[in-house]
Structure 1
Amino acid sequence: MTEAGEPAAPPVLSITGAALHRDGHELWAGLDLDVRPGEFIAVLGPSGSGKTTLLRSILGLQPLSAGTVQIDGLPVQRGNPRIGYVPQQRTLAPDTSLRARDLVALGVRGIRFGLPIPHRGDRTRVDALLEGVGASHYADRPVGLLSGGEQQRLRVGQALAADPKLLLCDEPLSNLDLANQRGVTEIIDRRRRAHGTAVLFVTHDINPILDRVDRILYIAGGRFLLGTPDEVLQTEVLSALYGTPVYVFRTGGRLVVVGIPDADTQHEHHDEAPTTGGIA
């Protein structure tokens, strides 16, 4: 029940009894997770722990070894318009000739079946998305001449084109400076607050999003923890998860985690990035 006494909204994402194996190695098992409208969940863990693979399963790109995933009470499927996907920032080649608005338009037209023929209202929709991510002033510039942060704003615009109920973010702040990290994070947070969009945010650094996160899913060594930041980000808790001393320090308003074992010593594998339409 909510504080007002009304029933809680049904989950946008529901994962039940999920398990994932790769090359005979169990990445994790027994995962139950309900994500409700407007909730911001960070997914943490070392490389190869299965974070990106979890996103692939939600996108319908890779089956689980066990368990189920549902979006709005329905089984997952490829190309689900209820889901938006923001990939890692990868700088586009300088000679890429498409304009910023053209790339966002691919997201708008890509949600329809058949050939990407422009429809009446597409330009208005594209303009609104560009404004929403702070990209209106460079809408007609070639994307190859834009900075990494400017390009990443366009990726967020693409992800929001279908007005998704769930936004999957796979290391969206990688390779961005602090100013652009704050800018992209603010766009995503503003979206979820204004529209109730649930966010699943994979990251290696919790600090840029720490004050916005509701819960953390921490995956490591074939196990996982789920709880609030204060419950999960503790020396004793992470040490128990890894089975070795891990220390959490708070300094200058930031968290520093020291002592995480090298993923290679745990026989883990690197995740593969999901492949979807839009900027890659």
Structure 2
Amino acid sequence: MDSTPHGAAVTAAGLGVKGPRGWAFQNIDFTAGPGSLIAVQGPSGSGRTCLLLALTGRMKSAAGTAEVGGLPLPKKKAAVRSVTALAHVPGVAELDPALTVGEHLRERALLQGRFGGSLRALLKPRRERRAAARALVDTALAAAGLDLESLPKGIRTSVRDLERLEALRLSVALALIGGPRLLAVDDTDLKLSDDERGAAWKMLHGLAAAGTTVLAVCSEPPEGNEGVVLVRTGSRPEPTAPESTPDGPTSTTDGEESETPEGREASEAGKTGKNGKTGKGSQGEPAGAAGTGGADSAPVETPAKTPAAGGHDDEEGAADALAETGRA
């Protein structure tokens, strides 16, 4: 690919998307120059995909401002869509498992030739159009690192038979055929092994180095974060510290009990009873009043877990916002 940076600069200030039941995300601020690799990190349901769709002109923002290649959002959504492409977005831009790799590539090249090119290109002889389409496909496959010869049945391999990393590469290659200035990839590291994750990030780093701005949604950013613009959505819940009592059992978050020496002695006394017989009191009644854990002892409450900031509301808001784009 041409190493001249042609990617789109991306900026956001206080950006937010809101659905009928709440915010999908809000207060997003970052600046990325042309040819940057932008990693959008956050837990599932924190609005990562909504942010990806908003920055590519597919979803309308409700707060703040954003620009892609100097085009303001949401005012110039159509123009932004023309210079951006989506890859690996479930329900919006995903592969058809019933089709082969070759069928996907031919379909994408045909659409690009008819709707993505100029009128002059359409008037060229058929042989020249075919050669141009083949060159676009070959260039995109090379950039995505997908070797057709390594597939089980070559170009005739069905999508359902592809490994996860191969499917990701194919989805990226299809998006690159249109020559976007901004490539947006969803679920970049979903269910990938450590080696596969490293290979995926290497591919995206290569695309950014070649000049295309890359926006990648992930659960974990690439190691080192060198040269990566990191954007975080949502927050993870803080671990809840267990409460303890000075003379009795301590309740932990998983329901097990840990005892202090004093609490253990009291517990043993309750089990043994006053006459030293295990499990019986002085009159042959079940022990309980003499030790902790008996009928008269007060239960120790497990501390309630603190929900993640914006967790439930953000998940509902993200679901509503995505539903408007056709994704359940």
TM over 0.5, shorter chain:
yes
- Pairwise mapping of residues 10-89 of structure 1 onto structure 2 (< 5 A)? 12-75=9-72, 76-78=76-78, 80-87=81-88
* 2:233 match: secondary structure: strand
Q: Tell me the residue number matched to 2:190.
A: 174
Q: Give the AA of the match of 2:158.
A: V
Q: Tell me the residue number matched to 2:201.
A: 185
d(CA) in 2 for partners of 1:103, 1:215: 32
Structure 1 74/126 Cα, relative in aligned 2: closer, same or farther at 3 Å? Answer: same
- Please report how far the alpha carbon of residue 62 of structure 1 lies from its aligned counterpart in structure 2 after TM superposition: 1.6
The answer to whether 1:152 aligns with 2:168 is yes
Over the aligned positions, Cα root-mean-square deviation in angstroms equals 3.7
The answer to whether 1:220 aligns with 2:221 is no
Q: Report if the CA contact (8 A) 2:83-2:180 is conserved.
A: yes
Q: Indicate which of 139, 142, 154 corresponds to 1:131.
A: 142
- Please report how far the alpha carbon of residue 43 of structure 1 lies from its aligned counterpart in structure 2 after TM superposition: 1.3
Q: Tell me the residue number matched to 2:156.
A: 141
Q: Which has the higher strand share?
A: 1
Q: Give the AA of the match of 1:128.
A: T
Structure 1 210/171 Cα, relative in aligned 2: closer, same or farther at 3 Å? Answer: farther
Structure 1 110/13 Cα, relative in aligned 2: closer, same or farther at 3 Å? Answer: farther
- Please report how far the alpha carbon of residue 155 of structure 1 lies from its aligned counterpart in structure 2 after TM superposition: 0.6
Q: Give the AA of the match of 1:147.
A: E
Structure 1 115/26 Cα, relative in aligned 2: closer, same or farther at 3 Å? Answer: closer
Structure 1 59/260 Cα, relative in aligned 2: closer, same or farther at 3 Å? Answer: farther
Structure 1 82/264 Cα, relative in aligned 2: closer, same or farther at 3 Å? Answer: closer
- Please report how far the alpha carbon of residue 92 of structure 1 lies from its aligned counterpart in structure 2 after TM superposition: 5.4
Percent of residue pairs bearing the same amino acid type: 23
Q: Report if the CA contact (8 A) 1:46-1:263 is conserved.
A: no
Q: Report if the CA contact (8 A) 1:56-1:274 is conserved.
A: no
Count, aligned residues: 232
d(CA) in 2 for partners of 1:265, 1:217: 17
* 2:179 match: secondary structure: coil
Structure 1 61/186 Cα, relative in aligned 2: closer, same or farther at 3 Å? Answer: same
* 1:220 match: secondary structure: coil
Q: Deviations over 1:71-122 (max 9, x none)?
A: 21124434724213222587854xx243x23323433343455499983310
* 2:77 match: secondary structure: coil
Q: Indicate which of 185, 197, 201 corresponds to 2:216.
A: 201
Q: Report if the CA contact (8 A) 2:8-2:35 is conserved.
A: no
Larger CA Rg, structure 1 vs 2: 2
Structure 1 23/80 Cα, relative in aligned 2: closer, same or farther at 3 Å? Answer: closer
Q: Give the AA of the match of 2:77.
A: Q
d(CA) in 2 for partners of 1:169, 1:107: 17
- Provide TM-score, normalisation by structure 2: 0.58
Q: Report if the CA contact (8 A) 2:7-2:181 is conserved.
A: no
Q: Tell me the residue number matched to 1:161.
A: 177
- Please report how far the alpha carbon of residue 130 of structure 1 lies from its aligned counterpart in structure 2 after TM superposition: 1.9
Q: Which moved more, 1:263-272 or 1:28-37?
A: 263-272
Q: Report if the CA contact (8 A) 2:95-2:171 is conserved.
A: no
5+ residue gaps in structure 2?
1-5, 241-304
d(CA) in 2 for partners of 1:30, 1:105: 41
- Please report how far the alpha carbon of residue 183 of structure 1 lies from its aligned counterpart in structure 2 after TM superposition: 2.3
Q: Give the AA of the match of 2:88.
A: P
